[in-house]
Structure formats: C-alpha cells, structure tokens
Amino acid sequence: MLPAAAALLLATAALPGATSTMKSTSAAPSPAVCALGKMSACGLPSSVVIDMSKVRIQRTDAEWRSRLTADQYRVARKQGTEPPFENQYWDSHGDGVFFCVGCDTPLFDSKHKFNSGTGWPSYWQPLEPAFVAETVDTSHGMSRTEVHCAVCGSHLGHLFNDGPQPTGQRYCINSASLKIMPRGEYEAWLLKGGTTGPAR
C-alpha cells in the first residue's frame, strides 16, 4: 500500500491544469527585483472565480473560519494579499517544505525559494506542479496568472515569467497561505505516510 503522501501525489497528478514535474537543480538563481516606485502586481488581490467543484477538499465557510486565522482566511479564502516585507516568510531562510494552510498539502520547497526583492516569498517552481493550479486573473486592468492550491482551492498568489533560471518563473506567494515544516520533520512525515501536516 502506498504511503498517504505518495497516494496524494499520484491522485492529484491527474487534476485539471496539471503540468509535468520539472527537474530540480542546485543552480544559484539571481534575484529579480521589482521596479522602484511602482505598484507590484503581487500586491494586488485577485478577483478570479475559482471553480471549486474541481478541488478535492470541500468545507463550509464556517469550517474554513474555524480552521484558519482571520488573516489566513482573508488571503486564502477571499483572495486577499498581505503587505510586502511585513509577512512571515518573505525573508525566511529556514530549510524545509511549505504547506498549504487550507489542507496541509506540500506546495513549495525552500530549495526553490529565492530573493525576488518584492517582499513576498518567491519560488522558481512548486514542489509538485499538479498541486498548484492556475487561473487567468484580469482584475485591476491587467492579465495575471493567479495560483491556488489544486487540492482545496486556497488562493496562494500569482505566477510571473520574470524569475531566475532554470524555469524563468516567479511564484509570488502570500505567507498567510503557507506554513513551514522543517526538513527533518518533513522527511519523517514522508516516512510515516504524510498523514498529518505541520502545526498551524
């Protein structure tokens, strides 16, 4: 029998919008800095309508409110955003894996995190592309790619094509949508089948 984490990986790989897994690399990416004096597209909330019938975890609004803090709920469930340079993980250098606050799905690895200069945690690839779904966001007079958890629909942030190599992508993610599990705990979690996410 597959461990729960591996089963989840295989089960979600067939989600709509899933892409093939990118190969990891140890190359040191260079930072991509936003232009000074301009409103960052990362700092604008999303107004897209996410088709929640496609996500695997369904909860009532009351259940989401009881599970999440007020800030997590505003960002993850109401597609808000948080201030740059004033959020938990923008300058985090800990070694570990970042999970979705909504469903404990592993989304991003600290090995793929880089300093984008934007004030939000930025990654050049997700841990598993099938876990991060994309929707076109045309709010605020621009076209952006909104990203959300493919398992529970929680809003994460936006994807831009100005990131470092090897992917050239920048996943600009809200800290409020994430929680980190240190590397050692993550490896132990995988060995146990990945059934309980990190503490909130």
Task: Single out the catalytic residue among 34, 42, 100, 172.
Answer: 172
Tell me: pLDDT of 13 over 50.
no
Tell me: pLDDT of 36 over 90.
no
Judge whether 102 lies within some domain.
yes
pTM across the whole model: 0.79
Catalytic residue list contains 172: yes
| Peptide bond preceding 84 in cis form (omega within 30 of 0) | no
H or E stretch covering 7:
helix 4-12
Judge whether 26 lies within some domain.
no
β-strands 122-123, 113-114 pairing? antiparallel
Tell me: pLDDT of 6 over 80.
no
Instruction: Find the CATH number of the domain harbouring 97.
Output: 2.170.150.20
**Dist. CA 182–CA 94, nearest whole Å:** 7
pLDDT digits (tens, 9 = 90+) for 136-187: 887 778 888 999 999 999 999 999 999 999 999 999 999 999 999 999 999 9
Judge whether 50 lies within some domain.
no
Q: What does the pLDDT read at residue 200?
A: 59
Q: Could you give the C-alpha distances from 11 to 4, 27, 98, in angstroms and in order? A: 10, 30, 20
* One-letter identity of residue 187: E
Count up the domains in the chain and report the number: 1
Least confident of 15-24, 101-110, 181-190: 15-24
Residue 65 DSSP symbol? H
Judge whether 20 lies within some domain.
no
**DSSP codes joined into one string, 138-172:** -GGGS-EEEEEETTT--EEEEEES---TTTT-EEE
Q: What does the pLDDT read at residue 55?
A: 81
SS3 percent helix, strand, coil of the chain, rounded to 5, is: 25, 20, 55
Judge whether 25 lies within some domain.
no
Tell me: pLDDT of 17 over 70.
no
Tell me: pLDDT of 15 over 50.
no
CB 172 within 8 A of CB 137: no
Judge whether 28 lies within some domain.
no
Domain span holding position 118 = 4-13+56-191
Cβ count within 10 A of residue 39 = 10
Tell me: pLDDT of 192 over 50.
yes
Nearest CA to 134 out of 113, 161, 115 is that of 161
